Amino acid sequence: MTGTQLHLFDWTTPVTEDLQVGFDASDASNLRSSLIPPTAPWGALEVDTPATGYLSVYLSEDLSKLPIRAITKPNDNKSDPNIETRTYGLFSTCERGMRAGIVNNRAQFIIFLCKKGKERVVSGFYHLAWKTEGIWHAAKRDYALAADYVHFVAEPIRVSDLPEPGKSAAERKFRLSKRVDAVETQAIVTALQSQPNALEDYLSEIDRVERFQAFHSGYRYVSWKQERPFSWEMARQYLAASNTQGEVPNQSPSGFWQCADPDCGQFVNNKSLLRSCPFCNGMGTLRVVANPDGAGLSGEINGTQNIH
Ligand SMILES: [Zn+2]
């Protein structure tokens, strides 16, 4: 390994200042002391050297030139990869198995892929440093992960253009995520680092599309009625929630969920399980509605979309 390559994997200087994205400055010191890694509930992610990684496919936004995560997809808005807070799995239930695999297999990188036209491209990566337990951890290993460095590129690289052995690893068929070894990880990360970090452009684009969505619907994220951008301030509720008992599936066959809080009881239409009820903000309160007809649901419910 050359000195240059070694440098790529030398993350001894975490870019902690950059974690302040989304801060309200007036509350920054309080937030920093209570929410942001490496402060508890965050703990160091134990990793192997040389660094291994996971390839992770995400759905990108149709209304954006840069491949930010999908924001406007009806009933399937995405909160990950959450580059605003440099986290994955803090706000969403996406890819629980991959998150558990990363912790279990001591991986350091998530390398993100999405579709550009019909082709898969690699758009960026997280260098992971911290983990914390999510609300369903008691039932099934549920981790949120946080990065100390995030790198996304203006010109996503076609998988077929990646250097070997990254190319072969990324070209082999997989659906949502896949573990890659140290040499494959290094090949892909090095290729991404050959371009300047366009993270600020991605953040601006997320904000632009969210504001577009809010202009038309009143919400940055219609599915869960979220008016504000993601931030560490918002993370407070997610990090403070204690583990709930019992297992909740990640998908509802009907597309509907019902809040188990007796004071709320609202129905929610969303493809994936949400950590937080959009109506009462309860954490981990949503339960599957197996059959919307049986639940007496029809047509438009609480302003969400019709049943498809
Ligand atoms: Zn509720």
pLDDT digits (tens, 9 = 90+) for 39-94: 888 999 999 999 999 999 999 999 999 999 999 998 888 999 999 999 999 999 88
Q: How do 43-44 and 256-259 pair as beta strands? A: unpaired
Total tally of structural domains belonging to the chain: 2
The per-residue pLDDT for 294 is 52
Check residue 215 and give its pLDDT. Answer: 96
Q: What is the pLDDT of residues 248-290, one digit of tens each?
A: 888 888 889 999 999 999 999 998 999 999 999 999 999 999 8
- Res 6 pLDDT > 50: no
| Radius of gyration over every alpha carbon of the chain, rounded to an integer in angstroms | 19
Statement to judge: residues 169 and 276 lie in one domain: no
Same domain, 184 and 42: yes
DSSP-derived pairing of the beta strands 87-88 and 177-180: unpaired
On whether residue 173 sits in a domain, the answer given is yes
Q: 263: which residues sit within 8 A by CB, 6+ positions away?
A: 280
Which ranges in the chain belong to alpha helices (H)? 3-8, 28-34, 96-104, 166-171, 182-193, 199-217, 232-240
> Are 102 and 127 a contacting pair, CB within 8 Å?
no
Residues 257 and 144 in one domain: no
Instruction: Give 304's strand partners.
Output: none
Residues at Cβ < 5 Å from ligand 1 ion:
259, 261, 264, 277, 279-280, 282
Domain-located, residue 225: no
Indicate whether 177 and 100 sit together in one domain: yes
Give domain status of residue 255, yes or no.
Answer: yes
One domain, residues 37 and 116:
yes
> What separation in Å is there between the alpha carbon of 210 and the centre of ligand 1?
24
Domain end point (choices 194, 215, 236): 215
Phi, psi for residue 68 in degrees, rounded to 5: -70, 165
Is residue 176 assigned to a domain? Answer: yes
> Helix, strand, coil % (nearest 5) of the chain?
25, 25, 50
Determine phi and psi for 209, rounding to 5 degrees. Answer: -70, -35
Residue in the structure block whose two tokens are 């890694």:
37
- How far is residue 53's CA from residue 98's CA, in Å, rounded to a whole number? 10
Identify the band that residue 31 occupies on the pLDDT scale cut at 50, 70 and 90.
Answer: low
Same domain, 56 and 136: yes
C-alpha 266 – ligand 1 centre gap (Å): 6
In a domain, 116, yes or no: yes
Task: Tell me whether residue 233 is in a domain.
Answer: no
Q: What is the pLDDT of residues 147-201, one digit of tens each?
A: 999 999 999 999 999 999 999 999 998 999 999 999 999 999 999 999 999 999 9
43, 112: one domain:
yes
* Residue 283 lies in domain: 248-308
Task: Report if residue 180 sits inside a domain.
Answer: yes
- Are 147 and 128 in contact by the 8 Å Cβ rule? The answer is yes
Q: Which two tokens stand for residue 137?
A: 């951890």
190 found inside a domain: yes
Residue 302 CA to ligand 1 center (angstroms) comes to 12
252 and 143 assigned to the same domain: no
Ligand 1 centroid to Cα of residue 288, in Å, is 13
Distance between Cα 90 and ligand 1 center (Å) = 19
The reply to whether 190 and 289 lie within a common domain is no
**What single DSSP character describes residue 60?**
B
Q: How far is the CA of 289 from the centre of ligand 1 (A)?
A: 14
pTM of the model: 0.85
Task: Assess contact for 179 and 101: CB atoms under 8 A.
Answer: yes
Question: What is the pLDDT at residue 293?
Answer: 66
